[in-house]
A and B are shown apart, each in its own frame.
Chain A
Amino acid sequence: MSLSGEAAGEHKLPSNGSVVIQPAASAKPRANQSPSSRKSDTIPPYKMYALPAPIRTFPLPSFYPNNPLSLFHLVYAWLSQTFFPPPAEPSVVHEGTWDPDTRSVHIKDAKSIRALWQQGFFGKGSLSRSEPNWLKREISRRGDAERGVVAEQRTDARREERRMAKWERAKNELEAIERVKHEEAQSKETTAEELANGHVESPEPPSAQIDDVIEMDLPCPDLSLTEAPPLQSRSAIADDIPNGHLETRKPPVGPLELLALPNSLADLSSETKPSLPESQPPAVNGITNGSIEGPKPPVGPLELLALPNSLPFCPQPTAADDTTESPKTPVSPLEPLSLPTSLTDLTAGSSLTQEEPELSPTDHVLDGHANGVYGILNGTCSASTPLSSAQGSTKKPQTNGQVAQPLKRRKGVRFSPEVESTTFQHTDPPSPNRSPPTATLSQGTVAERSATEAKPSTAGDTLPSSLDISVVFGELVNKEHFQLSPEEAFFLVFSLGALKIVDPVTKATIPTEQLLALFRSHSYFPARTADGSLTAGLQPHDPFLVHFAVYHHFRSLGWVPRHGIKFGVDWLLYQRGPVFDHAEFGLMVVPSFSDARWSEYEHEKAKRSWSWLMGVNRVLSHVLKGLVLVYVDVPPPPVFDEAMASGGIADALRKYTIREVMVRRWSSNRNR
Chain B
Amino acid sequence: MATSVADRQVRISKIAGRYLVFDIDDVAYIRRHHGICAVFTGTMPQNPTQNVFLGLPIELYAEEARLLVDKKVGYIADDANDHLSRLKSLDEPSRKAYLQSLKTQRKNAQLVIDEARAQSQAKHKSKRKDKAPKLEPSESTSTKEDDTGLFDATPAKPAQVVVAKQALPAVTPTSTGQLISKGDGAAIQVPKSYPLYAYLNKRGYFITPGLRFGGDYSVYPGDPFRYHAHFMANSYGWDEQIPMLDIVTSGRLGTSVKKSFLMGAQQPVDDDNGDAAGDSRVRVFCIEWAGM
Contact B211 A610 (CB under 8 A): yes
Which of A175-183, A439-447, A567-575 touches B?
A: A567-575
CB neighbours (8 Å) of B215 from chain A are: 611, 615
Smallest CB gap from A588: residue in B: B245
What distance in Å separates the Cβ of A599 from its nearest Cβ neighbour in chain B? 26
CB neighbours (8 Å) of A565 from chain B are: 244-245, 248
Contact A619 B252 (CB under 8 A): yes
Contact A567 B211 (CB under 8 A): no
Whether, in the assembled complex, A601 has its beta carbon less than 8 Å from a beta carbon of chain B, the answer is no
| CB proximity to A under 8 Å, residues B199-244 | 210-216, 234, 244
Whether, in the assembled complex, B175 has its beta carbon less than 8 Å from a beta carbon of chain A, the answer is no
Whether, in the assembled complex, A672 has its beta carbon less than 8 Å from a beta carbon of chain B, the answer is no
Contact B210 A619 (CB under 8 A): no
Contact A569 B214 (CB under 8 A): no
Contact A568 B246 (CB under 8 A): yes
Q: Which of A415, A569, A611 contacts B245 (CB 8 A)?
A: A569
Contact A619 B244 (CB under 8 A): no
Q: A-side binding surface: helix, strand, loop or mixed?
A: helix
CB neighbours (8 Å) of A613 from chain B are: 214
Contact A616 B249 (CB under 8 A): yes
Contact B248 A614 (CB under 8 A): no
Whether, in the assembled complex, A84 has its beta carbon less than 8 Å from a beta carbon of chain B, the answer is no
Whether, in the assembled complex, A507 has its beta carbon less than 8 Å from a beta carbon of chain B, the answer is no
Binary interface encoding of chain A residues 54-77 relative to chain B, with 1 for a CB under 8 A from any of its CBs, else 0: 000000000000000000000000
Q: Which of B51, B212, B245, B288 contacts A614 (CB 8 A)?
A: B212
CB neighbours (8 Å) of B51 from chain A are: 669
Whether, in the assembled complex, A154 has its beta carbon less than 8 Å from a beta carbon of chain B, the answer is no
Whether, in the assembled complex, B290 has its beta carbon less than 8 Å from a beta carbon of chain A, the answer is yes
Q: Which of A415, A566, A610, A611 contacts B248 (CB 8 A)?
A: A566
Contact B248 A413 (CB under 8 A): no
CB neighbours (8 Å) of B216 from chain A are: 611
| CB proximity to B under 8 Å, residues A396-420 | 412-413, 415
Contact A619 B245 (CB under 8 A): no
Whether, in the assembled complex, A250 has its beta carbon less than 8 Å from a beta carbon of chain B, the answer is no
CB neighbours (8 Å) of B252 from chain A are: 567-568, 619
| CB proximity to B under 8 Å, residues A33-61 | none
What distance in Å separates the Cβ of B215 from its nearest Cβ neighbour in chain A? 6
Whether, in the assembled complex, B102 has its beta carbon less than 8 Å from a beta carbon of chain A, the answer is no
What distance in Å separates the Cβ of B192 from its nearest Cβ neighbour in chain A? 11
CB neighbours (8 Å) of B250 from chain A are: 568, 615
Smallest CB gap from B250: residue in A: A615
Whether, in the assembled complex, B142 has its beta carbon less than 8 Å from a beta carbon of chain A, the answer is no
Q: How far is the CA of A614 from the CA of B250 in the complex (A)?
A: 11
Taking A413-B288, A567-B252, A619-B252 as contacts, is the C-beta distance between A612 and B246 under 8 angstroms?
yes
Q: How far is the CA of A618 from the CA of B250 in the complex (A)?
A: 10
Binary interface encoding of chain A residues 284-299 relative to chain B, with 1 for a CB under 8 A from any of its CBs, else 0: 0000000000000000
| CB proximity to B under 8 Å, residues A358-381 | none
Whether, in the assembled complex, A622 has its beta carbon less than 8 Å from a beta carbon of chain B, the answer is yes
Q: How far is the CA of A669 from the CA of B50 in the complex (A)?
A: 10
Smallest CB gap from B210: residue in A: A611
Q: How far is the CA of A413 from the CA of B248 in the complex (A)?
A: 18
Q: How far is the CA of A566 from the CA of B248 in the complex (A)?
A: 7
What distance in Å separates the Cβ of A173 from its nearest Cβ neighbour in chain B? 23
Contact A622 B256 (CB under 8 A): yes
Q: How far is the CA of A415 from the CA of B256 in the complex (A)?
A: 20
Whether, in the assembled complex, B109 has its beta carbon less than 8 Å from a beta carbon of chain A, the answer is no
Contact A615 B245 (CB under 8 A): no
Binary interface encoding of chain A residues 613-633 relative to chain B, with 1 for a CB under 8 A from any of its CBs, else 0: 111111100100000000000
Q: How far is the CA of A619 from the CA of B213 in the complex (A)?
A: 9
Smallest CB gap from B290: residue in A: A413
Smallest CB gap from B244: residue in A: A565
| CB proximity to A under 8 Å, residues B275-292 | 288, 290
Q: How far is the CA of A628 from the CA of B249 in the complex (A)?
A: 15
Whether, in the assembled complex, B253 has its beta carbon less than 8 Å from a beta carbon of chain A, the answer is yes
What distance in Å separates the Cβ of A453 from its nearest Cβ neighbour in chain B? 29
CB neighbours (8 Å) of A413 from chain B are: 288, 290
Q: How far is the CA of A413 from the CA of B211 in the complex (A)?
A: 27
Contact B211 A619 (CB under 8 A): no
Q: How far is the CA of A415 from the CA of B212 in the complex (A)?
A: 29
| CB proximity to B under 8 Å, residues A553-598 | 565-570
| CB proximity to A under 8 Å, residues B126-165 | none
What distance in Å separates the Cβ of B26 from its nearest Cβ neighbour in chain A? 29
Q: How far is the CA of A614 from the CA of B215 in the complex (A)?
A: 8
Contact B253 A615 (CB under 8 A): yes
Q: How far is the CA of A611 from the CA of B254 in the complex (A)?
A: 13
Contact B214 A614 (CB under 8 A): yes
Q: How far is the CA of A622 from the CA of B249 in the complex (A)?
A: 12
Q: How far is the CA of A619 from the CA of B214 in the complex (A)?
A: 9
Residues of chain B touching chain A, judged by Cβ–Cβ distance below 8 Å, are 51-52, 210-216, 234, 244-246, 248-250, 252-253, 256, 288, 290
